Structure 1
Amino acid sequence: MDKPKMHSPNFVEQNIEKLATLFPNCVTEAKNAQGELTKSIDFDLLKQELSSHLVEGPQERYQLNWPGKREALLSANAPISKTLLPQRDESIDFDSTKNLFIEGDNLDALKLMQETYLGKIKLIFIDPPYNTGSDFIYEDDFAENAEDYKIRSNEKDEEGLKLVANTDANGRFHSDWLSMMYSRLKLCRNMLKDDGAIFISIDDGEASNLRKIADEIFGDDCFVSSISWKKRSSPDARATIGSVHDTLLCYVKNNLQPKSAISKMPLSSSRKKAFTNPDNDPRGPWASVDMTGMTGRATKDQYFDVNLPSGRVIGPPEGRSWGIAPATFEKLRNDNRIWFGSSGDNVPRIKKFLSESDGQVIPSIWDSDETGSNDEATKEVLDLLESPKIFDTPKPTKLLKRIIKVTTSPSNEDIIMDFFCGSATTADATMQVNLEDTGNRRFIMVQIPEPCSEKSEAFKAGYKNISEVSKKRIFKAGQKIVEKNKDSKYIKELDIGYRALKVDSSNMAEVYYYPDTISQEDLFSQVDNVKEDRTEEDLLFQVMLDWGVDLTLPIQRETIQGKTVFYVDTNALVACFDKDEGIDEDFVKNLCEKEPLRVVFRDAGFANDDVKINVEQIFKQLSPHTEVKSI
């Protein structure tokens, strides 16, 4: 029985809980004045969360630490001046699809998507590069001075791909990998819905370390399970103890809603075989379950006698109680939901009907018979791309389909993200599950264009980088699904496309970010603050990112008074980037008729300064809810 507190509220504890909601990684354990371990705030980490520069000053605490951890946190929080450029030629159904494929460094992509997809992702699945000593990983620049940061973030100087071989010879073998993961997990947590979940695939090499940093970022109370997935049938003969499994670490965004984030899984084929119908019940096959309960939890009325159909009277088995009260038992018995055995003389059990089943509890061990194997996944990729082995250890669609089914709904337009998409199994599985249950789930795939080695099978097959393989796999998978299910009524509604975007430098010229650095002599050469090689649609997508507008919304292009106008989802955003100084008050009033939520113009497009000044007043009068900006 709970006791009253008998004291005023502990505001310190309440404040710690509030901070834990915003910054779970800053919650740690420390000794109080009595030497007892209590929950406390890591003020050094909190300072780093609230600082744009590197903060020093560690103190003794319970945590996983490594060289570069603070730099990784700084890297996650540091802004970048980049954008996502639309790639129509590389897209499939650009104008109608709700899916995204983003090519580029996933750290940059995650930063760019923060506004748009904050708290909107239902499921994140990632299969990051395992730290084997030969895999390539993403190398981020952490600590750097302000000028270096300007150069890097604004692309004054092209860096190329940020890839490095993390070999055992590197003294930061674990540190580099952990820093790479830490910053990305930190960012992706923000994007999860309150009822969202993340599954991370990893091997034994970094499983324990990954668990620790995930506990820190998501909160150890949001940890759900460590699932063992059997990825191969037999171990490596060269090993002492050969691993045949990978680990799937599962976390939810909100520990108060674990069951809304992860539901029961559909009954397995072996479980369904347990359902029979020996008494020809019209409700169909059923399985019997134990009706007894634990004595320690039982009430007095759960010890009652039962009259069996055979005439024998029995009580609960020795050391047990009945798991239900007498009234409940009689109700179930009258509804023919109690089974006494074919002879009518057995200990009663409760009938559970297959037609009423809500699935089964997810086990912590997943066998390859039900969730596929690496070999099966390799064959899937080979069959689709019609080329030799390209990926060493791809994930099978069966594995992803199980994860998708237990975490997403077919009718909520749930978004599934994979920012280490590799062979794009996640996209393939999403399309397959949507077909099976007529769902409308969407996917966001992110893949860095890691160059294919000239000796690799991928290069020999004509692929220059991994993102090309990823996109080709999605295209081929969609074609295969359509071909195999062309008679399905839903196939025409199935979204098998993607809107391709590419991480690139900002559309805005240097003068936009650093006007103070431009000398008077350079003013005339800097009249336009947009780079010459960028299109109006490029500008549109950067504005959508800046405003947090869904990047998959339909875009309509119209010509009004000789000027190109973009309508995003009719009136979610209206944009005109003409720079011929022809935007006048009549044109602005025409746009007001649509009553857009947002409107944006290009500075160079206004007929004169008076028009630019009057634009906001015109919208306030004719469309008061419109937010107006110019670039």
Structure 2
Amino acid sequence: METYKDHITLSPDMNEERLNKLRELFPDWFTQEGHLDINEVKKVVNPNGVEETERYEFRWFGKSAAKRNAFTPTRATLHYDEKRSVNAETTENIIIEGENLEVLKVLTSCYRNKVKCIYIDPPYNTGEDRVYKDNYYESKEQYWERSEYGTNIDTNSNTEGRYHSSWLDLMYSRLLIARNLLKEDGVIFISIDDHEIHHLHKLCDEIFFEENFVANIVWQKRTSPDARCNLGPAHDYILVYAKNIEKLKPTLNKVELTEERASEYKNPDNDPRGNWASVDITGQTGHATESQFYTITTPTGIEYTPPIGRCWALSKETFNDLVKDNRIWFGVDGTSRPRKKIFLSEVDGANAWTWWTNKEVGHNQEAAKELKEMLGAADIFDNPKPTRLLSKIFEIATKENDIILDFFAGSGTTGHSVTKLNHQQLAHRKYILVQIPEFTDKKSPAYKAGYKTISEITIARNKAVVEKYQKASEGKILDEEDKQQLNQLGFKVFTLLKSSFPRTDFTPDPTKNEEENLALFQEYIKEKERQLTIAFNEEELITEILIKQGFMLTYKLEKQSRFTQNTVYWATDGEKEAYITVDANLNDETVEYFMQHTDKKFICIERALDTTKKFNLKEKMQEKFYAF
């Protein structure tokens, strides 16, 4: 059934989608009018009518409102910023300037189930750090006015009484949407300190489910303790959750052995195959077979059976083969419990563990130095992360063509790290960075260096990274892979702005049904959208419509010369494709072409067609035709 929502560039309505899913699974829970009958749900939850007044749950003041805010569609859109983009014709990287909750909602249209890895470094809740205030709906006009020049971020004062609640509101709504962007084998890494680690763990248990908890990494962020404290904090955490842990596990990569880990390999028996390390050969009994329970006799005659509750991980036949190949170690004197030898020459890497030292992945001072080298000024961003830290995350969690998202982009370390890792591995990972245009303090080094907003720092750093790699390639003979690496450098910049279509301001009458509201809407747009004939930006309209149609922001447009009476483009993002025009009037010749060629999707503006043309195109093209 057609409704007014079909003609508005809203992001997907997550509440409506969830209700539709319930309606598919449990139609008896709904009334004849299509409304959820909560009493029917209660009968299933508690069939005996026994009320359960106490249960374990994680709640705070504002949680329900934060959840509603997450699943309420946005009326915002993204506009392409050509002037600030770098190498836009060939790159697939994206930087988005805008409030990240609204941006995430927009991205749901085109990146749902497409992101392999999310890394975020959200504001730490220390009582002084700033937190985002979700006032888009409370003060929409002021938001748009501020967004042109930057926006102020509220502080989360310890005396506010909502010290933890405000921070949880911030994280809850954003993580709820972020989960929908992850692929089924996707993973999220979240940097955090001691102030909110326990709350964040509970939050992620609820959103991603406890069984999808992967690890809590401890990162040694300092080279020495903070002298200002009796017990100086020298570490942060990185909390890791999968969307589906069983699908994630096979996709995780090993990391290169560090010198410290490699030094653990010795050769006490002078094996000609070189240095080796020994590993346990017992396993859990959950799926063990009878062949995994037997007695092993050492060369000195000592007998060993598996410890209580465990079995041998190898069958007796496999074990005997390893003994013949001198791959079982019984200790120097031949009396020890047997272990398997793993040779350094055969190791293609190591499984990552949860203790990351600053020698291995860098520290705060290194990160500050990297940023200064890129932008030529010191102290322009507080506590950036080192690229070695993020590169290790992406090395473990992603393959060469994956998409990586950071919606608290800050100084832009994620983009820098992805580019650096791509060049090291000759890979083609893509990044999407989102940063609100938060004002820098006028007394700060950032402002004095010319950066009025944090998002300007994000863009400037990644532009400097591009220039660094381009300069390094000058004068060199480049092979095809080198050329591809240079082509993928750069990023397209988009800004979060109000829709180009006045129709997005339409508010339905709650006292009327869908059919009546559709009629009201049609009258509304007849009047309002006459404004579009005065002045509008063609590319902005195309971007907005393509996002609505699920095209990724890496779409390409190619003008079609066969159309002489209208400007028609061929749009493709590698997955979706369509012809599109935003001309105010559609010529008969153009209409006739699409009446005869119905194999490709065609998108136009509804007001470009009279009733007859619209009916004929719909009749001929069916789902291949979309009039916005």
Q: Structure 2-normalised TM-score?
A: 0.80
1:100 to 94, 102, 111: 94
Measured in 1, the distance between the counterparts of 2:565 and 2:408 equals 44
1:58-73 mapped onto 2 (5 Å cutoff): 60-73=54-67
Query: CA 1:511–1:274 in structure 2 vs 1: closer, same or farther (change >3 Å)?
Result: closer
Larger mean Cα displacement after TM superposition, 533-542 or 324-333:
324-333
Q: Which amino acid aligns with 1:100?
A: I
Measured in 2, the distance between the counterparts of 1:472 and 1:242 equals 34
Structure 2 residue aligned with 1:15: none
Offset of 1:222 from its aligned partner? 1.4
* Contact 1:507–1:538 (CA under 8 A) maintained in structure 2: yes
**Is the partner of 2:392 in helix, strand or coil?**
helix
Measured in 2, the distance between the counterparts of 1:83 and 1:200 equals 26
* Contact 1:377–1:395 (CA under 8 A) maintained in structure 2: yes
Measured in 2, the distance between the counterparts of 1:224 and 1:313 equals 43
* Contact 2:293–2:305 (CA under 8 A) maintained in structure 1: no
Offset of 1:209 from its aligned partner? 1.4
Offset of 1:69 from its aligned partner? 1.2
1:628 to 616, 625, 628: 625
Structure 2 residue aligned with 1:125: 119
Offset of 1:330 from its aligned partner? 2.1
Larger mean Cα displacement after TM superposition, 433-442 or 595-604:
595-604
2:249 to 250, 253, 259: 259
1:549-568 mapped onto 2 (5 Å cutoff): 549-559=551-561, 560-568=563-571
- Higher RCO structure (Cα 8 Å, ≥6 apart): 2
Structure 1 residue aligned with 2:484: 493
1:410-559 mapped onto 2 (5 Å cutoff): 410=400, 413-484=401-472, 489=479, 490-494=481-485, 495-510=488-503, 513=506, 526-528=528-530, 530=532, 534-559=536-561
Query: CA 1:337–1:548 in structure 2 vs 1: closer, same or farther (change >3 Å)?
Result: same
Measured in 2, the distance between the counterparts of 1:511 and 1:349 equals 68
The CA RMSD measured in Å over matched residues stands at: 3.7
Offset of 1:536 from its aligned partner? 1.2
Q: Which amino acid aligns with 1:95?
A: E
Structure 1 residue aligned with 2:343: 353
* Match status 1:587 vs 2:590: yes
Offset of 1:462 from its aligned partner? 0.9
Larger mean Cα displacement after TM superposition, 459-468 or 276-285:
276-285
Measured in 2, the distance between the counterparts of 1:318 and 1:614 equals 77
Offset of 1:500 from its aligned partner? 0.9
Measured in 2, the distance between the counterparts of 1:434 and 1:328 equals 41
Offset of 1:279 from its aligned partner? 6.7
**Is the partner of 1:550 in helix, strand or coil?**
coil
- Residues 115-151 of structure 1 show CA distances to partners (whole Å, capped at 9, x for unaligned) of 211111111110001112222221013986xxx78x6
Offset of 1:165 from its aligned partner? 1.7
Measured in 1, the distance between the counterparts of 2:118 and 2:504 equals 38
Structure 2 residue aligned with 1:191: 181
**Is the partner of 1:248 in helix, strand or coil?**
strand
1:26-175 mapped onto 2 (5 Å cutoff): 60-141=54-135, 161=151, 163-175=153-165
Offset of 1:343 from its aligned partner? 8.0
Query: CA 1:457–1:569 in structure 2 vs 1: closer, same or farther (change >3 Å)?
Result: same
2:605 to 602, 606, 618: 602
Aligned pair count reads 563
Measured in 2, the distance between the counterparts of 1:566 and 1:138 equals 39
1:205-224 mapped onto 2 (5 Å cutoff): 205-224=195-214
**Is the partner of 2:124 in helix, strand or coil?**
coil
* Contact 1:252–1:261 (CA under 8 A) maintained in structure 2: no
Measured in 2, the distance between the counterparts of 1:138 and 1:132 equals 14
Offset of 1:360 from its aligned partner? 2.7
Larger mean Cα displacement after TM superposition, 317-326 or 559-568:
317-326
Q: Structure 1-normalised TM-score?
A: 0.80
- Residues 541-567 of structure 1 show CA distances to partners (whole Å, capped at 9, x for unaligned) of 111111111111222233421422221
* Contact 2:218–2:355 (CA under 8 A) maintained in structure 1: yes
Offset of 1:199 from its aligned partner? 0.8
Structure 1 residue aligned with 2:316: 326
Gaps of 5+ in 2: 1-17, 23-37, 43-51, 508-517
**Is the partner of 2:219 in helix, strand or coil?**
strand
* Contact 1:215–1:223 (CA under 8 A) maintained in structure 2: yes
Measured in 1, the distance between the counterparts of 2:312 and 2:607 equals 80
Measured in 2, the distance between the counterparts of 1:518 and 1:619 equals 25
Query: CA 1:382–1:237 in structure 2 vs 1: closer, same or farther (change >3 Å)?
Result: same
Measured in 1, the distance between the counterparts of 2:542 and 2:313 equals 63
**Is the partner of 1:87 in helix, strand or coil?**
strand
Q: Percent identity?
A: 36
Structure 1 residue aligned with 2:7: none
1:349-388 mapped onto 2 (5 Å cutoff): 349-388=339-378
Offset of 1:467 from its aligned partner? 0.7
Q: Which amino acid aligns with 2:546?
A: M
* Contact 1:288–1:339 (CA under 8 A) maintained in structure 2: yes
Query: CA 1:110–1:524 in structure 2 vs 1: closer, same or farther (change >3 Å)?
Result: closer
